[in-house]
Amino acid sequence: MSLRINDTAPDFTADTTQGAIRFHEWIGDGYAVLFSHPKDFTPVCTTELGTMAGLEDEFAKRNAKIVGISVDPVESHERWKDDIRTVTGHAVNYPLIGDTDLKVAKLYDMLPAEAGDSCEGRTPADNATVRSVFVIGPDKKIKLILTYPMSTGRNFQEILRAIDSIQLTAKHQVATPADWKQGDDVIITAAVSNEDAVRRFGSYETILPYIRKTKQPAV
C-alpha cells in the first residue's frame, strides 16, 4: 500500500517501551510524529533518538507526541536507551515501538509485503527503507512524509519548522514560502480574494498577481 499526504494514517496496535498502544487512540486530539530507524544499536540512529529526546518539550509545546519504531523487540530498545543517553546526554522518555513481525513497517510502506514476518536475522541494510518520518494530524491524516538514507542524520529542527507551518496553514488560508520560520511573512492563498485578504489580514503586499505576502497571523 502506497501512502500519500492526506491519506488516513494506518491504525495499529503494538507493544512499546511504555506498554501496548492503539495508535489512533494514543494520538488523541493532537499531532503525532512517528519516526523509524532500521535497527537498534546503529550509530546515526543513536544520535537521532537522543536528539529527539532533547526536543521532546519543543514537540509538546506544539501539542505533538513523538514515538519511535524499529523492527527490534522492546527489550532491545530498553537496552539501547543506556547507549543513547551516554552518547547524547538525553534520556529517552517517549515510547519506542517493537515491530518484531514487521507489521507496522509494512503498513507504512517502509518494507515490501514479501519482506517476511520476523525481525530475526535482518541486518540494517535489509531494513534500509525503515528510515522515515510521518507527521500525523488530529484528524489522523498524514501531513508530511520524509525518508532519509541510513548515512544521513535527520534534521529534527526541520520537523519542528514543518509542524509550525502545518498548524499555521491549517488555521489560516495562507502558505509558507521557502525557508519560512516562525514570525516570517506568509503567502495568502489563491482562494482568498483581495477584498477578503484586507478583511482577514489588514494589509498585504502584491509581489506578482499570484503572490501576495502578509504578516504571519497568530496561530
Determine the 3-state secondary structure of 219 from DSSP. Answer: coil
DSSP per-residue letters across 148-164: --TTS---HHHHHHHHH
Which residues make Cβ contacts (< 8 Å) with residue 65, sequence separation at least 6? 26, 27, 28, 30, 31, 32, 33, 59, 94
Tell which residue, 127, 149, 10, has the closest CA to residue 72: 127
Helices 156-171, 43-54: inter-axial angle, 10-degree rounding: 50
- Any catalytic annotation for residue 45? yes
The DSSP 8-state label assigned to residue 19 in this structure reads B
Q: Are 87 and 47 in contact (CB under 8 A)?
A: yes
Residue of 9, 14, 45, 71 marked active site: 45
Instruction: Give the DSSP H/E element, type plus range, for residue 133.
Output: strand 132-136
CB contact burial 5-23 (16+ within 10 A = b; e otherwise): eeeebbeeebbbbeeebeb
β-bridge partners, 66 = 33
Chain position carrying cell 525503515: 130
Give the residue numbers annotated as catalytic, written as ranges: 45
